[in-house]
């Protein structure tokens, strides 16, 4: 009998002729995530990914935790494989789930029989195993409607498997199956959440952070690097590109009307991010913008901001309430880092009375006094890159 991990696929099962491509991406992501934790055999069958340790040196507890953060998986469970025999299944359930049976107040058995050659039906298996478990553990009662513990039995092609209640997976689609995008990553609450949400749709991310030393501190940079490290747990490999932004902001302050400072700054961010996207084969930009949250996120301001680029801008938070965003930030463990009191470049030279409904022609006039191309090129030459891996 073998202790292993079963991973239930999500919407991959709906992909038809393209399914093998998505499964291959998922398996590759799983293998990379498991690599530091031991030598595992990873394979797929019947909408399930099997993670089987090859030796006793595998860290199964850490592997189970890591698998809950893999996009493309909706359910994660540690299971015991055994012979496809009704008594072998009972023995496996009795030994493997003994602690769960002793601590729960009620239980039932649910069976899935993928191997239709097995001589008993799903209901017959559940009744047989449930009856024996009830005799073995007389202090726990049977409750088929609302049990505290569900003993799962799966009779599949290679073996039978027993396990307790599965843990929720991260859902979504495997990272990399839908291409790559640049994500603008500040130190706030919103941008890490937007990065997480778009990665969950199968996008490989290239994080870009704009750094304005000495107006923003080294602690502010460290904060963003910590956020990137947290996101790496979900996204796999990430290389954050840290763009020096001080000179651009000083030029805007010295030469442009104050009410346009933030809009002009955002236009430079878009231009630079698009260049980085081109260098990395990315097909879109991702921002944490939320409609109406601040002056630069009105519909008029958003139009002005993205007018200077040709790539699409993905805004996964655009219609969300702040409370919803905070809830996700807490769930993915970025919230406590995001609220650390180190300001990012978006707070530098903030106008006292920003334009909330800017006209594009007025912004273009305000911007015309700047040497846009040379400022963008200067920033690109000064990029610092920091790589994170699992």
Residue 124: burial class (beta carbons within 10 Å; 0-12, 13-18, 19+): middle
Report the candidate in 373, 382, 353, 372 with the shortest Cα–Cα distance to residue 264.
372
Phi then psi dihedrals of residue 141, to 5 deg: -100, 155
Q: How far apart are CA 187 and CA 269, in angstroms?
A: 15
Q: How far apart are CA 257 and CA 365, in angstroms?
A: 10
Q: Are 77 and 6 in contact (CB under 8 A)?
A: yes
Sheet of 180-184, strands arranged across: 313-314, 285-286, 180-184, 204-211, 238-244, 384-388
CATH class assigned to 180-388: alpha beta
User: Number of H helices and number of E strands within the chain?
Assistant: 14, 15
Q: Are 227 and 337 in contact (CB under 8 A)?
A: yes
CA 288 to mean position of chain CA atoms: 15
Residue 223: CB atoms within 10 A of its CB come to: 24
| Fold of the CATH domain 2-170 | VC0802-like (3.30.2130)
Report the candidate in 32, 314, 331 with the shortest Cα–Cα distance to residue 174.
32
Q: Which residues contact 293 (CB under 8 A, 6 or more apart)?
A: 190, 322
What does the pLDDT profile of the chain (390 residues) look like in tens digits? 588 999 999 888 888 788 899 999 999 999 999 999 999 999 988 788 999 999 989 999 999 999 999 999 999 999 999 999 999 999 999 999 999 999 999 999 999 998 999 999 999 999 999 999 999 999 999 999 999 999 999 999 889 999 998 999 999 999 999 999 999 999 899 999 999 999 999 999 999 999 998 888 889 899 999 999 999 999 989 999 999 999 999 999 999 999 999 999 999 999 999 999 999 999 999 999 998 887 778 899 999 999 999 999 999 999 999 999 999 999 999 999 999 887 776 666 777 778 889 999 999 999 999 999 999 999 999 999 999 987
Angle at CA 183, nearest 5°, toward 349 and 234?
130
Same CATH topology for 2-170 and 180-388: the answer is no
| Domains of the chain by residue range | 2-170, 180-388
pTM of the model: 0.90
């Amino acid at each position: 009998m073998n202790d292993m991990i079963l991973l239930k696929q999500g919407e991959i099962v709906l992909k038809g002729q393209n399914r093998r491509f998505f499964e291959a991406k998922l398996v590759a992501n799983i293998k990379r995530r498991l690599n530091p934790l031991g030598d595992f055999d990873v394979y797929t069958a019947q909408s399930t990914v099997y993670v089987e340790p090859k030796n006793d040196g595998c860290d199964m507890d850490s592997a189970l935790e890591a698998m809950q953060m893999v996009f493309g998986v909706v359910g994660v469970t540690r299971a015991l494989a055994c012979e496809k025999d009704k008594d072998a299944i009972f023995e496996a359930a009795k030994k493997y789930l003994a602690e769960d049976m002793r601590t729960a107040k009620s239980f039932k058995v649910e069976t899935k029989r993928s191997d239709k050659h097995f001589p008993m039906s799903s209901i017959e298996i559940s009744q047989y195993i449930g009856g024996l478990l009830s005799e073995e553990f007389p202090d726990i009662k049977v409750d088929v409607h609302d049990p505290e513990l569900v003993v799962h039995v799966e009779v599949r092609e290679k073996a039978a498997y027993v396990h307790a209640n599965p843990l929720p997976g991260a859902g979504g689609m495997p990272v990399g199956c839908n291409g790559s995008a640049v994500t603008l990553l500040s130190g706030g609450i919103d941008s890490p959440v937007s990065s997480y949400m778009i990665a969950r749709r199968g996008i490989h991310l290239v994080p870009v952070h704009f750094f304005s030393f000495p107006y923003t501190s080294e602690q502010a940079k460290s904060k963003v690097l910590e956020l990137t490290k947290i996101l790496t747990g979900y996204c796999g490999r990430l290389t954050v590109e840290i763009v020096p932004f001080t000179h651009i902001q000083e030029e805007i302050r010295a030469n442009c009307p104050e009410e346009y400072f933030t809009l002009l700054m955002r236009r430079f961010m878009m231009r630079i991010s698009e260049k980085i996207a081109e260098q990395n084969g990315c097909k879109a930009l991702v921002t944490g913008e939320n409609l109406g949250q601040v002056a630069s996120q009105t519909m008029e301001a958003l139009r002005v901001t993205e007018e200077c680029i040709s790539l699409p801008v993905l805004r996964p938070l655009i219609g969300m309430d702040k409370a919803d965003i905070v809830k996700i930030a807490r769930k993915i463990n970025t919230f406590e880092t995001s609220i650390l009191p180190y300001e990012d470049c978006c707070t530098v030279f903030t106008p006292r009375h920003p334009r909330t409904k800017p006209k594009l022609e007025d912004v273009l006039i305000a911007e015309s006094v700047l040497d846009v191309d040379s400022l963008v090129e200067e920033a690109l030459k000064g990029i610092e890159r920091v790589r994170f891996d699992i």
